[in-house]
């Protein structure tokens, strides 16, 4: 791991308190938005048009203040401001890695925190967002899985991460805005903290907003949801969200996968593969990404590579295999496979006819790499607990 300190670390505290009783319009579906507008005095006949206008102000132009919604009557803007707010997570710290990766720590209601990572590449800019605070699953190689505290994020907090990043990248469009390919934030991956399919409705509503053509307007093919294998929700993901799918596969026998990805005890490899084989959107142009973390001596043998291919072939799944060098975190029980081992594994997969990119590790110096996310305060809280326990202060 790079011993170097991050290039910059600044702390920004933007107070965005939710005033008592006001409703946050962010994260509502169009139908929900229309309903709350009517409930709070918008005449029913105007509601559809007002919904469209307000939607565009929020998601197309990034406006947070009703006063700026200049195509609405002044009195109506004031009326909106009495009942509603436009509220996104508050950025607490922002770190920039030596490779340009940005990591944000965001505060959400209840004093919880989530991390969001922005990864700039030549042909795209990917935002890695979180779906939960912590994770109820306990994959043994994942730092997030060791975090005790768990809560589902609301749709507002999920799409709010995208809006927050667009603020930071200063990317709210101006007329004649660039297309997806040239946007700074062109892709979203649900690969931050949490298991997105254990928070299905909120993830779905947030991603629908991100895809809406009259707003953030990202193509569904530029959004990838990563799951550890919540089998019953996989078909629903294709039907109700329509995004691309990545699966945290990580092992080729149930024996090993039971340890690495314990949800395997509930839905085993065979059941998972069947669900993937019938993923309604899967095709050669929309392949399923198999994520495979390379752990020294655990899942990285030639036999593993052959078994992996055999699983995918047997079920005829359009797939690419993303090999992820293990990112270490303090106290992690595994080591990263050697580069030679990773290359040998990749070669077997490639020879079998599957793309096998080795994921570049990004933002490691700021603990922003896959599986390293866990809020700093949570770490601090834990160590304080440990200290108290050691001092015999806990009952
Ligand atoms: N909960 C979801 C999405 C978040 S994790 C899931 O498990 O798919 C995103 C990816 O990072 C997953 O493939 C996960 O297995 C992987 N990952 C977790 N910890 C890691 C680590 N320490 N090093 C490398 N990859 C890791
Ligand atoms: Fe949760 Fe994914 Fe980490 Fe497993 S790998 S503990 S499912 S965040």
Which of 90, 115, 195, 291 is catalytic? The answer is 115
Where are any strands of DSSP class E within 180-300? 187-190, 223-227, 244-248, 288-294
* 243 included as an active-site residue: no
Structural domains of the chain, ranges and CATH numbers in brackets: 23-85 (1.10.150.530), 90-382 (3.20.20.70)
pLDDT in tens, 20-48: 689 999 999 999 999 999 999 999 999 99
Ligand 2, atom 8: nearest CA belongs to which residue?
Answer: 194
Instruction: Give one DSSP letter per residue of 12-61, joined into a string.
Output: --------TTPEE-TT--HHHHHHHHHHTT--HHHHHHHHHHHHIIIIIS
Counting Cα atoms < 13 Å in the Cβ hemisphere of 151 gives 12
289 lines ligand 1 (CB under 6 A): no
248 lines ligand 2 (CB under 6 A): yes
198 lines ligand 1 (CB under 6 A): no
305 lines ligand 2 (CB under 6 A): no
228 lines ligand 2 (CB under 6 A): yes
What pLDDT score was predicted for residue 13? 31
What count of other Cβ atoms lies within 10 Å of the Cβ of residue 349?
23
Nearest ligand atom owner, CA of 146: 2
246 lines ligand 2 (CB under 6 A): no
**Per-position b or e across 88-98, b if 16+ CB within 10 A of its CB:** bbbbbbbbbbe
What pLDDT score was predicted for residue 336? 95
* 135 included as an active-site residue: no
Backbone Cα Rg of the chain:
22
* Interval between CA 125 and ligand 2 midpoint (Å): 23
Q: What are phi and psi of 78, to 5 degrees?
A: -65, -40
Alpha helices in 251-375 (DSSP H): 254-260, 269-277, 302-314, 339-351
Nearest ligand atom owner, CA of 261: 2
* Interval between CA 271 and ligand 1 midpoint (Å): 20
Provide the token pair at 301: 């043998």
- Atom of ligand 1 at shortest distance to CA of 192? 4
- Atom of ligand 2 at shortest distance to CA of 248? 5
Ligand 1, atom 18: nearest CA belongs to which residue?
Answer: 371
Contacts (Cβ under 8 Å, ≥6 apart) of 154:
27, 202
pLDDT in tens, 187-203: 999 999 999 999 999 99
Provide the token pair at 65: 């203040």
What pLDDT score was predicted for residue 216? 93
Distance (Å, rounded) from C-alpha 247 to C-alpha 269?
A: 11
Of 71, 162, 140, give the one whose Cα is nearest residue 293. Answer: 140
Tell the burial category of 392 from Cβ atoms under 10 Å away from its Cβ (0-12, 13-18, 19+).
exposed
pLDDT tens for each residue of the chain, 395 residues long: 333 333 333 333 333 445 568 999 999 999 999 999 999 999 999 999 999 999 999 999 999 999 999 999 999 999 999 999 999 999 999 999 888 899 999 999 888 888 899 999 988 999 999 999 989 999 999 988 888 778 999 999 999 999 999 999 999 876 565 555 578 999 999 999 999 999 999 999 999 999 999 999 999 999 999 999 999 999 999 999 999 999 999 999 999 999 999 999 999 999 999 999 998 777 778 999 999 999 999 999 999 999 999 999 999 999 999 999 998 888 899 999 999 999 999 999 999 999 999 988 777 666 666 556 555 545 444 444 554 454 443 33
What pLDDT score was predicted for residue 388? 47
What pLDDT score was predicted for residue 374? 56
Number of residues in the chain:
395
- Atom of ligand 1 at shortest distance to CA of 327? 23
What pLDDT score was predicted for residue 257? 98
What pLDDT score was predicted for residue 5? 37
What pLDDT score was predicted for residue 144? 84
Provide the token pair at 315: 């079920």
* Cα-Cα-Cα-Cα dihedral sign, residues 353, 235, 160, 136: negative
Going by their DSSP bridges, the two strands 125-128 and 223-227 should be labelled as unpaired
Of 118, 183, 122, 127, give the one whose Cα is nearest residue 363. Answer: 118
226 lines ligand 1 (CB under 6 A): yes
- Atom of ligand 1 at shortest distance to CA of 194? 1
Residue 127: beta bridge partners? 118, 188
């Amino acid at each position: 791991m790079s011993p170097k300190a991050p290039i910059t670390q600044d702390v920004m505290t933007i107070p965005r308190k939710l005033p008592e009783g006001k409703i946050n319009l962010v994260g509502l579906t169009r139908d929900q938005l229309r309903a709350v507008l009517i409930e709070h005095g918008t005449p029913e006949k105007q509601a559809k048009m007002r919904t469209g206008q307000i939607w565009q102000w929020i998601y197309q132009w990034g406006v947070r203040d009703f006063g700026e919604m200049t195509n609405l009557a002044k009195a109506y803007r004031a009326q909106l401001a009495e009942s509603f707010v436009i509220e996104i997570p508050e950025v607490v710290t922002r770190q920039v890695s030596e490779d340009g990766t940005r990591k944000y720590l965001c505060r959400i209601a209840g004093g919880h925190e989530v991390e969001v990572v922005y990864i700039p590449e030549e042909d795209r800019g990917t935002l890695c967002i979180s779906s939960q605070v912590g994770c109820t699953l306990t994959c043994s190689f994942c730092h997030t899985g060791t975090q005790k505290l768990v809560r589902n994020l609301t749709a507002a907090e999920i799409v709010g991460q995208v809006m927050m990043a667009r603020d930071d990248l200063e990317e709210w469009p101006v007329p004649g805005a660039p297309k997806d390919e040239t946007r700074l934030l062109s892709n979203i991956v649900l690969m931050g903290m949490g298991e997105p399919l254990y928070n299905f409705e909120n993830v779905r509503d947030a991603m629908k907003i991100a895809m809406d053509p009259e707003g953030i307007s990202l193509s569904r093919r530029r959004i990838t949801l990563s799951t550890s294998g919540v089998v019953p929700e996989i078909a629903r993901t294709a039907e109700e969200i329509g995004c691309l799918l990545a699966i945290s596969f990580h092992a080729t026998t149930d024996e090993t996968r039971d340890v690495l990805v314990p949800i395997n005890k509930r839905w085993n490899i065979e059941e998972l593969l069947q669900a993937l084989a019938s993923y309604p959107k899967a095709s050669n142009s929309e392949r399923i990404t198999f994520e495979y973390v390379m752990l020294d001596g655990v899942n990285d043998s030639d036999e593993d590579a052959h078994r992996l291919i055999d699983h995918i072939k047997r079920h005829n799944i359009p797939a690419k295999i993303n090999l992820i060098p293990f990112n270490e975190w303090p106290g992690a029980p595994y080591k990263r496979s050697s580069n030679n081992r990773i290359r040998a594994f990749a070669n077997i997969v490639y020879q079998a006819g599957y793309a096998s990119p080795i994921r570049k590790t990004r933002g490691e110096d700021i603990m922003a790499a896959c599986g390293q996310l866990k809020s700093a305060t949570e770490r601090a809280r834990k160590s304080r607990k440990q200290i108290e326990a050691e001092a015999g202060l806990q009952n």
